[in-house]
Amino acid sequence: MKAVGAPLLTIEQIREIDQRAQTAYGIPELVLMEGAGLLAWQAIRDRLQWDGVLAVVAGRGNNGADALVLARYASIEGFAVVVVISATPHAATPAALHLRSVRQLGVQTVAFEESPEEAERVLSSAGLIVDGLLGSGASGAIRAPIDQLVELVNRSSSDVVSLDLPSGLSSTWRPGESIVKATYTLELGAAKSVCYSPPARGHCGVIEQVAIGFPTALLDEVCHGSRIYTLDDLPRVLAPVSEAAHKGVRGRVEVVGGSPGMTGAPLLAAYSALRSRAGLVRIVADGSLLPSIESRSLSVMSRSVAEASAPWETLVIGPGWGRSHDRSELLQALLASPSSGVIDADGIHALAAMLHDGDLGERPSTPKTGSLREGSWVVTPHPGELRALAEAMEIECEPASEFECAATIAQMLGVVVVAKGAATCIVTPGGRRALVDGLNAALATAGSGDVLAGAIGGLMASGCEPFEAALSAVLAHQEAGKRVRAREGFFTAEELPSAIGEVLDGRP
């Protein structure tokens, strides 16, 4: 059976695959380059429109060779093409071979090192720019004079399509270093996790994968369970609900949250849980808040914290909860019960305080769950909350390493971590990793995270395992954001739950 999702690879893994495709599978390097250049050209030709010259910026390495193959096919099909080569490639290299080919076709070529002014003129007037300077084979920061060529590309008003990844991006790239600002990125061979890291994602624009002929078995072997998912994968992740199901079968959720001035957050989570298959949802809040909550909730039940006791249903802890000292004590009591669910927002800050104070046992330095039952909880931090957890656990967490930080927290606490951002990473204690791309600024609105937490809780209550619930909810949340934005433009979080219900019901 074909695996769900597509392989998600590190830079090191894609290099391994490239080598093994040649040595173990007998696929010549030139054949891989030919496929990469042709398929990338077809993707550009079929999806984009531009007026004027196609400017292909090529380095003298293998990424430049891919770009030169692309330039050849574009020229053969009658498109106006100019090649800007960063420097003359070494003789007998693939780039030198393909450069001779495009020149013999009559394609104009400009060497940046020899004619920087002419290169600037070409790029400033181009209808579309293809960036093939540096790919996944490069490492380290871009040095002069290539950084000047990157600056010319970025200064152009034209759209930029990067091949493989934006030139300058690598596993060691850090904000402030030279990098191409791409409008589109065509990932050659497979998705690359570096393109989706928080600091890099905004430089990649719209990302699409282009298969270039790597064997599927090789990709699946090397990716080690890390995969990227799209909405098309949702029906294979999420089983349908029986039409004979009653509300008890669909499950019950209790949202523990709310504080003065923040009673809307638990309501958003509650209604999202109802729209995400839960049959019954109740808000558990401080007694003083119940009149405000009950006046706005026709389909949601409520009870005060003082009256609440185990056994608990599936819990969603934290929306609008506030950060008073008693929150950590209540969270500790909830986690000590045989319960499961989602820890979000202020619940995460309470969890971080517990970890800092040692209330989950000795601060873990080896796999340890404390009073968190292994595999029963989903924790949904945004970047600031992720750093708070990492600080409490003495884990290094820079923006460029947030996904690795999330994986370490998941493994040490025995939880599923949903690291939210423009691209969202979901990791299990055992190292399984799922990535869902987003890049939708309209979802960055107050309450959006509460809605996601409620959706995960609703799916868990209906019978989904934590990882599948988290992945399905993230996919539905992203698609809901796209649909509401297409209809309404920028929106409020109240508009998301109904759209999530449509997505989970399979409606187009």
Is residue 229 in a domain?
A: no
| Domain encompassing residue 449 | 235-504
In order of 9, 192, 227, 292, 458, the CA distances from 171 in angstroms are 11, 10, 18, 50, 37
Q: What is the pLDDT of residue 360?
A: 65
pLDDT 10s digits, 188-207: 999 999 999 999 999 999 99
> Could you give the strand order of the β-sheet that contains 184-188, starting from the edge strand earlier in sequence?
108-111, 81-85, 54-58, 128-132, 159-163, 184-188, 206-210
Q: Band the pLDDT of 246: cuts 50, 70, 90.
A: confident
Q: What is the pLDDT of residue 411?
A: 93
pLDDT over threshold 50, residue 367: no
0.75 cut: is pTM over it? Answer: yes
pLDDT 10s digits, 327-356: 999 998 888 888 899 999 999 999 999 998
Of the three residues 167, 198, 224, the one that is the final residue of a domain is 224
165 and 299, same structural domain?
Answer: no
- Provide the number of structural domains found in the chain: 2
Strand partners, 433: 226, 427
Is residue 186 in a domain?
A: yes
Is residue 72 in a domain?
A: yes
Q: Band the pLDDT of 364: cuts 50, 70, 90.
A: very low
Q: What is the CATH number of the domain that holds 157?
A: 3.40.50.10260
374 and 257, same structural domain?
Answer: yes
413 and 284, same structural domain?
Answer: yes
Q: Band the pLDDT of 306: cuts 50, 70, 90.
A: confident
pLDDT over threshold 80, residue 59: yes
Span between the terminal Cα atoms of the chain, in Å: 26
